Amino acid sequence: MSKLVAPHGGKGLVCALLHGSELEAEKTKAAGLKQINVSARAKGDLIMMGIGGFSPLSGFMGKADWKGVCDSFQMADGTFWPVPITLDVAQADADAIKLGDEIALVADGGIMATMKVTEKYAMSDADKRWECEKVFRGEGEESQGDTFWKIAEEDHPGVIMVMNQKDVNIAGPVKVLSQGEYPTEYKGVYLTPAETRAMFEERGWANVAALQLRNPMHRSHEFLAKIAIEVCDGVLIHSLIGNLKAGDIPADTRVKAIEILIENYFVKDNVINAGYPLDMRYAGPREGLLHATFRQNYGVNNMLIGRDHAGVGDFYGLFEAQDIFNKIPNTGDTGKDLQCKPMKIDWTFYCHKCDGMASLRTCNHGKEDRVILSGTKLRKALSEGAEIVDHFGRNEVLDHLKLYYASLTEKVEVKMQGAASGDSM
């Protein structure tokens, strides 16, 4: 019997991906169905539903689930879920679809899945704004009062994404036909929940932590991972390999940077480098909860949550993504409640006087003695060709990243917020 945490939802891994003759038959049927083009975000959601990463979801959410998730972190049946997983379509497409119809969902020119439409519900601008208020608004200075809407519609990528959605959501179960480009382009790194669970079992791991990454690993990330390795059986370094916002470093460059770091500075038996196929939703603390929810499906029971986890600008408090774990519902039903717990780490940095990595819990020296580390700060320095402060990252990794930036023909401005600059310390 497995010692790993059970998949979320109490139903085991719920996998909508078809195989063999069933897959071929569904592909043939799909070719004759009405085709709906879906966003890159929905493509990633479909793949996660296919491989069990979004267990217990078997399709896109109806209105009751959407409302419950936004309002109280729970689907209609009481199962915890922190961020809506919905599919938007244009009004004309919605009008042409009858309840009970099967449709084909298309991304990048290929059919990703079929879907039986069980519900349609309009999303007015007021509905979208309500979703944004619930999901994206935080406790930081840019979320206060009227400031949120003055800034968010131009500068918050998650809010922009939702407000630009089409006018109708459709819901229903899906049958997934493809994992897209991920199995080939990221072979050995793109892993399904069944594969990571098998790897953990083979290594004898029962207590597993995950480190979420959308930036290359700097010294603070390395420190977090090593703290977890000391108290857990092993760590899954789990990188987003879907789409990011302009100015973020592409997945293949980040994956290689992690490989370089593991090769030179980790005991390989205690760490696994993997990727998952989602786009960032930029939902701050709510996204931290989503990270923990689907990591549970991968077999992880501890989610590393540091300073400004999944932060955007100054919309969120520095440790709001830690605090939100104390605010989520607990029904007492282990199947419906979140079982992946936060591993909360204070602000980390390199301290010259300590002569090593430290945190606000362990170092009593002044700000002038500390090298403040953040992915945004690193990307800004690299994009501007600025000198990288000593002890910010490992030289082997920085050399790899400098080659990437040297290859760019067009630079993207990287905005610096208080949380990344260290001004908030």
- Please write down the HEC assignment for all residues of the chain: CCCCCCCCCCCCCCCCECCHHHHHHHHHHHCCCEEEECCHHHHHHHHHHHHCCCCCCCEECCHHHHHHHHHHCECCCCCECCCCCCEEECHHHHHHCCCCCEEEEEECCEEEEEEECCEEEECCHHHHHHHHHHHCCCCCHHHCCCHHHHHHHHHCHHHHHHHCCCCEEEEEEEEECCCCCHHHHCCCCECCHHHHHHHHHHHCCCCEEEEEECCCCCHHHHHHHHHHHHHCCEEEEEEECCCCCCCCCCHHHHHHHHHHHHHHHCCHHHEEEEEECCCCCCCCHHHHHHHHHHHHHCCCCEEEECCCCCCCCCCCCCCHHHHHHHCCCCCCCCCCCCCCEEEECCCEEEECCCCEEEECCCCCCCHHHEEECCHHHHHHHHHCCCCCCCCCCCHHHHHHHHHHHHHCCCCCCCCCCHHHHCCCC
Q: Name the one residue in this structure whose structure tokens are 């208020």.
A: 133
CA nearest to 370, candidates 417, 318, 418, 425: 425
Q: Name the one residue in this structure whose structure tokens are 């009062």.
A: 145
What distances in angstroms separate CA 90 from CA 12, 36, 46, 200, 341, one per listed residue?
Answer: 34, 10, 19, 43, 39
Tell me the one-letter amino acid at 133.
Answer: E
Pairing, β 168-176 against β 59-60 = antiparallel
Enumerate the active-site residues: 214-215
- Asked if 286 and 135 touch (Cβ cutoff 8 Å), the reply is yes
252's CB contacts (< 8 A; 6+ apart) are 185, 186
